[in-house]
């Protein structure tokens, strides 16, 4: 395991940024009842194995493509005739846009379901169906409000829909089909997670399901909160899921458990699934996800509770999977993408590395992996909270967080 500590130095990461990460990490880690400014934390046992100040660190400038209000996720549409890519971009408030990265033009997509906007909730992730080239289907996650006895309760939901009129001025979602939802709906509007990712072969849909700031559901086999879910593309349960023979049908969805708030997921070139996860107060994590494993939340964490109460470290409970990297101070990780060269090769030094957006850290963090180990390689001060990162065909885009946020293309120097 690699642990990044307070003595960690990075040329672009200035002292004010470190102080900001300490003081405001709770906003990113979603203590909805109020912000904590207690900066006490456990001393890490080791330091980073690689310095982000390496001499070969690539540098870049940024180009503004478009602006958004509270964007959350983006994905690329298939490229046409070597033209600049078009993206699908979601906004938490319930809007979906097709964005031409060549011109910055944004076209609104209609037919979006009603979303429960507030706190960390709203319109969430979007990804293309594996057969998008023929079906035009997309998968979308969002926060949904309950009704009846579930009034004033909320949960994440995933749908499949056809993106119709994609190359017209009036695109829309058609034929919406429910795929999955969090059970049960609960009070509060934090830790939905609801990140979507298809396996490299296109057969399985992985969904990160946050524990909704309730802690205990992450270890509860009767709830699908605090888990990573694995389904077939139609929402059915694969027969080889680790808990498929459990008498509780909810548990058959689980791929892993003991997860807190997974906001980034990506497969490496060997087909291994890696995720980033927000810790409580300190102790953000980078984890290798393996079938049937328990990652320990809330029984262990390399952070501490917002109340100041200590939580046992991972190494005190070897039955739980230990993170490959923990960050103290936090980076508040958001989305994650893996860099691979293609038609373009803007950043050859990043080949095979994971690019992670940082919220409270206002950073782009580059992480490398080697079989089952990982380490932070580079860190870039972006000056703004980074909500989403996307590598496409050897080029890289980042999306800032909150209102008046820029979609930026990174251009190598």
Active site residues: 191
Q: Do residues 299 and 242 lie in contact, with contact meaning Cβ atoms separated by under 8 Å?
A: no
For residue 271, count other CB atoms closer than 10 A to its CB: 9
* Best CA proximity match to 332, nearest among 382, 392, 281: 281
88 SS3 class = strand
Burial letters for 392-408: b for 16+ Cβ neighbours within 10 Å, e otherwise?
bebbbbbbbbeeebbbb
Q: Check: CB of residue 227 under 8 Å from CB of residue 257.
A: yes
Answer for the pair 258, 296: CB distance below 8 angstroms, yes or no. yes
Residue 69, token pair as written in the block: 């209000």
Q: Count of CB atoms within 10 A of residue 184's CB?
A: 16
100-107's contacts with Cβ under 8 Å and 24+ in sequence apart are 101/65, 101/397, 101/407, 101/409, 104/64, 104/65, 104/66, 104/407, 105/66, 106/66, 107/169, 107/171
């Amino acid at each position: 395991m690699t642990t990044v500590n307070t003595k960690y130095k990075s040329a672009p990461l200035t002292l004010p940024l470190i102080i900001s990460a300490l003081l405001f990490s709770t906003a990113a880690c979603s203590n909805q009842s109020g912000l904590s400014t207690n900066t006490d934390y456990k001393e890490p046992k080791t330091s980073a194995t690689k310095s982000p100040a390496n001499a070969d660190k690539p540098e870049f400038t940024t180009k503004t493509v478009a602006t958004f209000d509270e964007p959350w996720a983006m994905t690329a549409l298939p490229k046409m005739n070597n033209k600049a890519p078009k993206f699908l971009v979601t906004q938490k408030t319930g809007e979906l846009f097709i964005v031409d990265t060549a011109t910055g033009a944004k076209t609104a997509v209609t037919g979006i379901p009603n979303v429960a906007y507030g706190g960390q909730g709203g319109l969430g992730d979007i990804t293309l169906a594996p057969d998008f080239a023929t079906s035009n289907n997309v998968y979308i996650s969002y926060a949904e409000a309950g009704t009846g006895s579930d009034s004033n309760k909320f949960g994440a939901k995933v749908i499949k829909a056809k993106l119709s009129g994609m190359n017209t001025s009036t695109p829309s979602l058609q034929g919406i089909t429910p795929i999955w939802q969090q059970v049960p709906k609960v009070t509060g509007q934090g830790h939905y997670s609801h990140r979507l990712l298809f396996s490299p072969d296109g057969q399985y849909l992985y969904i990160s399901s946050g524990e909704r700031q309730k802690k205990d559901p992450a270890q509860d086999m009767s709830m699908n909160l605090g888990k990573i879910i694995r389904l077939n593309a139609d929402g059915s349960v694969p027969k080889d899921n680790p808990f498929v023979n459990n008498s509780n049908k909810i548990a058959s969805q689980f791929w892993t458990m003991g997860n807190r708030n997974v906001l980034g997921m990506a497969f490496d070139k060997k087909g291994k699934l890696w995720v980033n996860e927000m810790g409580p107060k300190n102790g953000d994590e980078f984890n290798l996800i393996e079938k049937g494993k328990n990652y320990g939340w809330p029984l262990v964490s390399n952070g501490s509770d917002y109340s100041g109460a200590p939580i046992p470290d991972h190494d005190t409970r070897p039955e739980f999977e230990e993170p490959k990297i923990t960050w103290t101070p936090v980076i508040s990780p958001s989305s994650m993408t893996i860099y691979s060269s293609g038609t373009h090769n803007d950043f050859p030094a990043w080949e095979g590395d994971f690019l992670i957006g940082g919220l409270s850290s206002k950073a782009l963090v580059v992480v490398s992996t080697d079989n089952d180990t990982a380490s932070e390689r580079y860190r870039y001060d972006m000056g703004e909270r980074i909500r989403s990162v996307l590598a496409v065909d050897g080029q890289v885009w980042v999306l800032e967080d909150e209102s008046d946020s820029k979609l930026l293309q990174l251009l190598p120097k």
